[in-house]
Amino acid sequence: MIRTLLHRLSAWLTTPRLPEVVLPLPSRTASPTASDLLNELRDTAWTCASINAATCASYAPRLYVRTRPGQPPPRVATRAAPHHATSAERIEEVTAHPLLDLLRQVNPVHNQFDLFELTTLYQEVVGVAYWLLEFGPLGIPVAVWPLPSHRVTPTPEGFLYRAVEGQRLLPPERVIAFRYPDPRDPYNGGLSPLRACYDQVRLVREWSQFKRERLENHAIPDAIVSPEGVLADDERARLETQWNHRLRRTGAGRVLIADTALRVQLLQHSMGDLAALADLRTTREQICNAFHVPLAYLSTETNLANLQAAEQQHLARAIMPRLRRRDEKLNEQLLPLYDPSGRLFLASDDPTPNNRELTLREREMLLKYGVLSADEMRATLGLPPRSTPTQPPSEPNA
C-alpha cells in the first residue's frame, strides 16, 4: 500500500514529457524558413492572409462568467447573455474586468485590433504566433507584446528569442503560443497556409519577376532596318540615330523617307503566353484554396449572389475555426491567471449568417413568451434600459 502511494506521488511530481515526434524523411528541396515565408508575403498570398487576419480581428472575444447551481453570484459587473444560457448553468457577459482593460490597450503601441490581427497574420504566414506577457506586482498581466514569430524558437527550457541586442531565453509561463495544427510536429510545429502553398507562391513571384525583367530589357527590337549595300560604321550610326530621333517617344506614326534603299522588317513579339497565363490562374486558385479564401473575393467577374455565398462559405469554413482555436488557447493559458476557479471564459460571436438568423429568432421567442423582458434583452445588446415616463406631480387640493 505504501509502495503504491509512493509510486503515485513520484509520478505526480515528475514533469510530464512529450512523446517523441517522428519527423518525415528529408526531402530533396530544403524546407523554407520563417524568414523565407515572410519574404514571399506578397501578391495573392498577402491578399489572402490579410483578409483572414482582418476578419478574425473584427470578432474580438467577449468575457463571460458561468454560475452553476449552488455557486455564489459573480462579483463582477455583468449583463444577461441569453444566447449562451443553458438549463444547467447561467451564463452572463462580464462588462468590467481587468482582462477587458488589458485587451482594450494591450501595450503602449498596439490596441486590441492590432493584437488579434497580428496574431492571425503570423499564423497565416509562419504557422505560429507568440504573446509575451508582462506581469504587474499583483501577478496578473499588465501588457501583452506580440513577438515576431520568425525570431522565436521553442526549446525544452522555454522560448529562445533572437532580438537585435542579442538572444534571451523567455520562460514558458510568460509566453502564449498560438499554433496551427501540424501533423509532422503536433507539439512544437505549426503548418501555415503559406507554407502549404509555398511552391505556388514562388511560381507567381518568379512569373512576375520574369515579366518585369522582360519589360525592362527584353533585348528584342521592334524593327530591323536592312540597307541593300554595306554601310560604314559612322553611316550606320547616323542612320540609327536619325531613325530613333524621329520615331521614338512622340514620333510614332510618322513617315520617314530614306535617302538610300532600305528594307524594313517589323517584329511582332508577345510578352505573354496563353498557356502560362492559364497556369498562373490555376496557381492563384491553389493559393486561395490553401488560405480558405473564396475566389470571388479576388475577382471582378462575379455577381451579388455569388459574393454572398462566398462570404458565408468563408465565415463558416475559415473564420469560425480560427476564432475557436484562438479563444480556446486564451481560455487555456490566459484566463487561469485571473480566475483559477474556471468560471470565466472568452468566446467570440458566431460570424456565420445562418447562426445569426437563428439567434435573432431565439431572441424573438424569448421576448414573445416573456422569458426575458425588453430591458434584459436591451442589456444583452449593450443598450441602456428604456426610460420610463415620469408622472407629473399632483396638484395640491384647494
- pLDDT tens, 65-118? 998 888 888 888 888 776 555 557 888 899 999 999 999 989 999 999 999 999
Q: Which helix (H) or strand (E) holds 208?
A: helix 198-216
Identify the DSSP state of 179. Answer: E
What gap in Å lies between CA 93 and CA 91, rounded to an integer?
7
Of 162-166, 322-326, 360-364, the poorest mean pLDDT is in 360-364
Using one digit for the tens of pLDDT, what is the confidence trace for 236-252?
788 778 777 776 666 56
The dihedral of CA 161, 165, 166, 171: what is its sign? negative
Compute φ and ψ for 242, nearest 5 degrees.
-65, -40
pLDDT of residue 94: 92
- Does the pLDDT at position 58 exceed 90? yes
Pick the residue with more confidence: 361 or 312? Answer: 312
- Beta-strand (E) ranges in 68-114? 78-80, 90-94
- Cα within 13 Å of Cα(302), Cβ side: 15
Using one digit for the tens of pLDDT, what is the confidence trace for 139-164?
899 999 999 999 999 998 999 999 88
CB 180 within 8 A of CB 127: yes
Compute φ and ψ for 209, nearest 5 degrees.
-65, -40
Using one digit for the tens of pLDDT, what is the confidence trace for 200-242?
888 887 777 777 766 665 556 667 777 777 777 887 788 778 7
For residue 261 the three cell numbers come to: 534603299
Closest CA to 113 of 146, 70, 151: 146
Identify the DSSP state of 344. Answer: E
Distances (CA, A) of 248 to 107, 224, 252, 262: 58, 14, 6, 19
Confidence of residue 368 (pLDDT cuts 50, 70, 90): confident
Q: What number is the average pLDDT over the span 12-31?
A: 55
pLDDT of residue 277: 59
Give the type of residue at 360: L
pTM of this prediction exceeds 0.85: no
Q: In what order do the strands lie in the sheet with 152-155?
A: 152-155, 158-163, 166-170
Of 62-66, 119-123, 305-309, the poorest mean pLDDT is in 305-309
Q: Residue 367 burial (CB < 10 Å; 0-12/13-18/19+)?
A: middle
- Beta-strand (E) ranges in the chain? 62-67, 78-80, 90-94, 128-135, 141-147, 152-155, 158-163, 166-170, 175-179, 223-227, 262-266, 344-347
